[in-house]
Structure 1
């Protein structure tokens, strides 16, 4: 069982330091790390600042992208005592095709929407549905999750097992638009009936039109000694 991630500024700073050290060791810049981990660079920066308690699944993908186990990233490496059993398998990221991404996203569920904020990116949970290869969700009118039309946004869904050694993640990047035409609203209410994560007297339907759809599947392979 992997350790429960510690929280707090000191823990986040320690993990951020390990990430930076490993990036320097293998020559991997922040854009390349974000791409390899299947997330946007703003979300990578948010995770690095917040620490693994914010999104352990995201740190699993960062660890795999860096060639580390989750434990090595959040707790540091330790030399095993003589005669110890072979190291645990390491997580490996395998790219998903766009069709595989949509298959995992499914028809509805809970995801995270990433929006530009005054003090950095805002990451908010939403109940979503898929409508004709776009992502739609409802939110309180003029709330943080109700962006101006044309806003660049990211949307992420992931699943991992209890041991954080297998799972998948899908990242959709695109632009947000508010759905205003009455026939479409009636169809969405009738066919999808998505409940807003944070409701109110008035709600907006938001559609994310994808520009890119990427995904990673997390699997395991036997650990090998570092070169």
Structure 2
């Protein structure tokens, strides 16, 4: 006997439920993004891409709207027979900037959001933290190679979308190409700095934060 393949959530239906809930509560889109610890452009991208793109993001949206992931993604508040209880209702607690940097650590994998038309684009990158900035190495001319001084967002999180707990950190700032030779050698020697991207023109991009915010997601 084979298992029935899981049905992918419908992005349009989930986006409609989120909009309806947001309007019911009288919350503007930018305010929802702030409460969910994500850039407004990222929220719009997420609503188009759907729950499968960033399941944890829908936990944060649900918490910001005072509901559950199941209610937004599947349109139900009760689990079908045999599938156990519905997921817990998450709550969001603010993190200090110091707590944000501590959770992000020194290196790892996050998502960078860059402003392109009709954009934005969001890509996973491996990153390093250096003197309260975020840096990643990419290929020159690639999708993750922004214009110098471009606005950029960077997000990293650790979430269990079904248990409704974890944390998320959002960095908003500007992206800069690193050209100083001493600085390049410094970055290349940091743990976790080996690039994913190849190409003939590798380069480092540093995001200097204007704002660092974070949320801890708790259940119940």
Same fold (TM over 0.5): yes
* 1-structure distance, mates of 2:114, 2:48: 17
Match of 1:225 in 2: none
For residues 39 and 162 of structure 1, the distance between their equivalents in structure 2, rounded to whole angstroms, comes to 16
Query: Within 1, Cα distance between the matches of 2:18 and 2:161?
Result: 23
The structure-2 alpha-carbon separation of the partners of 1:119 and 1:138, relative to structure 1 and needing over 3 Å to count, comes to: same
1:205 aligns with 2:204: yes
TM-score, normalising length: structure 1? 0.88
The number of equivalent residue pairs is: 212
SS in 2 for 1:214: strand
CA shift in 2, pair 1:148/1:5, >3 Å: farther
Q: Which residue number corresponds to residue 219 of structure 1?
A: 218
Alignment partner of 2:199: what SS? Answer: coil
Q: Which whole-Å CA distance do the structure 2 matches of 1:135 and 1:97 have between them?
A: 17
Q: Which residue of 1 aligns with 2:117?
A: 118
Tell me which moved more, 200-209 or 166-175.
200-209
CA distance 1:88–1:155, shift in 2 (3 Å)? closer
Unaligned runs of 5+ in 1: 222-227
In structure 2, what is the Cα distance between the partners aligned to 1:218 and 1:129? 24
Deviation, structure 1 residue 192: 3.8
Aligned to 2:62, what secondary structure does the other structure show? helix
User: Is 1:37–1:65's contact at 8 Å kept on the other side of the alignment?
Assistant: yes
RMSD of aligned C-alpha atoms? Answer: 2.0
Cα separation, 1, equivalents of 2:26 and 2:155: 27
Partner residue of 2:8?
6
Residue 66 (structure 2) pairs with residue 64 (structure 1) = no
CA distance in structure 2 between the partners assigned to 1:5 and 1:173 by the alignment = 35
Cα deviation for residue 80 of structure 1 reads: 8.4
Residues 141 and 204 in structure 1, CA contact (< 8 A), matched pair in contact too: yes
TM-score, L = length of structure 2: 0.90
Separation in 2 of the partners of 1:140 and 1:106? 24
